[in-house]
């Protein structure tokens, strides 16, 4: 049963209960309350080791993309295995540092880094800044001069490749805001090499997220490898290639490339370049390591549909509302048998029709009070959550074998309300 699960063997039914590693999810949810995110350390570690292990024979840095799951405990778990971090803000940079990942293992990505953030990165000896425009390059140069440091930079190039993923998470087409057009990259490197305190060390590329085929990666990487050779011939001493993240996972019935096949493809293309590689995987490491556990509040038989209303909502997990993303939904008591499945609309309590997790989903007969797990929610779940509808921020739990720990408690209503301030001209009785 466990090995057949499409998401991760660390989540499996045992004795009628959906377990994470050695603990029934219901036991955690009863103690922590619902909704709550639950992550498996074993799956996190296994996926990171698999990724890093696939590149063991070439100089490689695997920098976990913190935006996928920024919880300090998650980042620290990966950091302790040797992961670096890919960050897109000073906040994420600070998280990496707080999780024990030194600045010289951090890649700073993003299209709109502010001066204060660049300064923070340089002051913390950032491994590499992935620069996405000429104005940014000039800003980095000015700040580096002021700090009296050399800034190690890569230009993030835009290879104009269709990643064949959701339009909202495609980043490598020329009409996207990301990167520097490949055709101009050579000239921009020349310009960069002349700018004070700028040290061009590599080339970066990232064409999108949740890629389920190797082909777009391969096209992009070939273009980048060619640029690498051209730059070296031009006398620009780049020696790093940052190939980004984007490797997809299985949510339903996708067949994303195995990490080993991805690695073999990369080595085929970059093998003779002598470059140090870096990667920025997020989802591929953490996506299937987490679930969102929720309790059914009501089952409502309306005119046309049976609505299963759960206590998680779009503010806790926005992927279905934002990308029409599919998340498997499993009862904590199970497994469900084919007989007895009934069609349901699984929705949250938020006052928007978009607050829908699944339409026409076959669910076993469930009743108010039962719990379900929204699977594959480890990446871009908690990290994209908000306080919409003044719902309490969703807590997070990390499991390790038979132990679990709350790695982000649910705050009290008082704490949430205390974050607002009344102006001096208003008093409330």
**Count of residues interacting with ligand LLP (CB under 6 A):** 23
Residue 275 region, left (φ>0) first, then alpha (ψ -120 to 50), else beta?
A: beta
Spatial distance between the Cα atoms of 251 and 420, rounded to a whole number of angstroms: 38
Helices 215-233, 259-270: axis angle to 10 degrees equals 30
Q: CA torsion, points 371, 307, 288, 313, in degrees to nearest 10?
A: -90
Contacting range for ligand LLP; rule: CB under 6 A; set: 212-220, 244-252, 395-403, 412-420: 244-252
Structure tokens at 113: 């880094």
Spatial distance between the Cα atoms of 100 and 139, rounded to a whole number of angstroms: 28
Contacting range for ligand LLP; rule: CB under 6 A; set: 46-54, 282-290, 333-341, 392-400: 282-290
**Nearest distance, CB of residue 191 and ligand LLP, angstroms:** 22
Spatial distance between the Cα atoms of 224 and 221, rounded to a whole number of angstroms: 5
Which CB atom, from 206 or from 295, has the smaller least distance to ligand LLP?
A: 206
Report if residue 395 touches ligand LLP, rule: CB under 6 A.
no
Which CB atom, from 120 or from 380, has the smaller least distance to ligand LLP?
A: 380
Q: CA torsion, points 69, 70, 75, 78, in degrees to nearest 10?
A: 20
**Nearest distance, CB of residue 110 and ligand LLP, angstroms:** 7
Q: Among residues 71, 210, 294, 315, which is the contact residue for ligand LLP, using CB under 6 A? A: 210
Spatial distance between the Cα atoms of 406 and 399, rounded to a whole number of angstroms: 9
3-state DSSP call for residue 231?
A: helix
Contacting range for ligand LLP; rule: CB under 6 A; set: 143-151, 179-187, 191-199, 379-387: 379-387
Length of the chain: 429
Q: Running DSSP on this structure, what letter comes out for residue 333? A: B
**Nearest distance, CB of residue 329 and ligand LLP, angstroms:** 17
Q: Among residues 29, 126, 263, 284, which is the contact residue for ligand LLP, using CB under 6 A? A: 284
Report if residue 370 touches ligand LLP, rule: CB under 6 A.
no
Report if residue 202 touches ligand LLP, rule: CB under 6 A.
no
Report if residue 61 touches ligand LLP, rule: CB under 6 A.
no
Q: Among residues 95, 206, 295, 327, which is the contact residue for ligand LLP, using CB under 6 A? A: 206
Report if residue 243 touches ligand LLP, rule: CB under 6 A.
no
| CB neighbour class for 20 (10 Å; exposed up to 12, middle 13-18, buried from 19) | buried
Q: Specify the residue for token string 């008093």.
A: 427
**Nearest distance, CB of residue 285 and ligand LLP, angstroms:** 8
Q: Among residues 120, 217, 357, 380, which is the contact residue for ligand LLP, using CB under 6 A? A: 380
Active site residue 351: yes
Report if residue 89 touches ligand LLP, rule: CB under 6 A.
no
Report if residue 179 touches ligand LLP, rule: CB under 6 A.
no
Closest CA relative to residue 330, chosen from 372, 288, 378, 287: 372
Structure tokens at 390: 């003044």
Report if residue 86 touches ligand LLP, rule: CB under 6 A.
yes
- Please name the residues in contact with 367: beta carbons below 8 A apart, sequence gap of 6 or more: 296, 299
Q: Running DSSP on this structure, what letter comes out for residue 285? A: H
Q: Is the dihedral of CA 25, 28, 31, 34 positive or negative?
A: negative
**Nearest distance, CB of residue 42 and ligand LLP, angstroms:** 20
Q: Among residues 34, 40, 65, 77, which is the contact residue for ligand LLP, using CB under 6 A? A: 65
Report if residue 245 touches ligand LLP, rule: CB under 6 A.
yes
Which CB atom, from 240 or from 295, has the smaller least distance to ligand LLP?
A: 240
Structure tokens at 35: 């909704």
Report if residue 319 touches ligand LLP, rule: CB under 6 A.
yes
Q: Among residues 43, 69, 209, 315, which is the contact residue for ligand LLP, using CB under 6 A? A: 209
CA-to-CA dists, residue 361 to 18, 115, 182, 326, angstroms:
19, 48, 44, 10
- Residues marked active site are found at 351
Binding-site ranges for ligand LLP (CB under 6 A): 65, 68, 86, 109, 169, 171, 206, 209-210, 244-247, 280-284, 319, 323, 379-380, 384
């Amino acid at each position: 049963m466990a090995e057949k699960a499409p998401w991760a063997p660390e989540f499996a039914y045992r004795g009628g209960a959906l377990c994470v590693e050695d603990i029934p999810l219901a036991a955690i949810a009863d103690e922590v309350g619902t909704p709550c995110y639950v992550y498996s350390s074993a799956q996190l570690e296994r996926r990171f080791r698999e990724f890093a292990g696939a590149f063991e024979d070439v100089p490689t840095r695997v920098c976990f993309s913190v935006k996928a799951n920024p919880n300090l405990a998650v980042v620290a778990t990966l950091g302790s295995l040797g992961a670096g971090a890919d960050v897109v803000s000073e906040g994420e940079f600070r998280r990496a540092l707080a999780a024990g990942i030194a600045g010289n293992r951090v890649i700073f990505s993003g299209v709109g880094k502010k001066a204060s953030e660049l300064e923070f990165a340089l002051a913390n000896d950032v491994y590499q800044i992935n620069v996405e425009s000429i104005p940014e390059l000039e800003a980095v140069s000015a700040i580096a001069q002021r700090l009296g440091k050399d800034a190690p930079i890569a230009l993030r190039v835009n290879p104009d490749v269709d990643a064949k993923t959701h339009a909202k998470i495609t980043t490598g087409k020329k009409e996207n805001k990301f990167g520097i057009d490949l055709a101009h990259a050579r000239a921009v490197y020349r310009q960069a090499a002349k700018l004070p305190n700028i040290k061009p060390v590599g080339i970066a590329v990232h064409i999108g997220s949740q890629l389920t085929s190797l082909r777009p990666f391969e096209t992009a990487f070939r273009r980048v490898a060619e640029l690498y050779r051209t730059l070296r011939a031009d006398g620009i001493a780049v020696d790093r290639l940052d190939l980004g993240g984007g490797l997809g996972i299985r949510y339903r019935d996708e067949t994303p490339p195995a990490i080993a096949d991805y690695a073999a493809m990369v080595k085929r293309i970059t093998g003779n370049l002598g470059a140090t590689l870096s990667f920025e995987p997020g989802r591929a490491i953490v996506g299937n390591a987490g679930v969102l556990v929720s309790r059914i509040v009501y089952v409502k038989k309306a005119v046309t549909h049976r609505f299963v209303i759960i206590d998680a909502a779009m503010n806790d997990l926005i992927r279905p509302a934002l990308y029409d993303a599919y998340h498997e939904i499993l009862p904590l008591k199970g497994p469900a048998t084919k007989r007895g499945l009934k069609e349901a609309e699984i929705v949250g309590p938020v006052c928007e029709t978009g607050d829908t997790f699944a339409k026409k989903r076959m669910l076993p007969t469930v009743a108010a009070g039962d719990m379900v797990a929204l699977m594959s929610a480890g990446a871009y779940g908690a990290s994209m959550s908000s306080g919409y509808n003044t719902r309490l921020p969703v807590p997070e739990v990390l499991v390790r074998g038979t132990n679990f720990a709350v790695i982000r408690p649910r705050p009290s209503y008082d704490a949430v309300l205390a974050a607002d301030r009344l102006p001096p001209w208003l008093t409330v009785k």
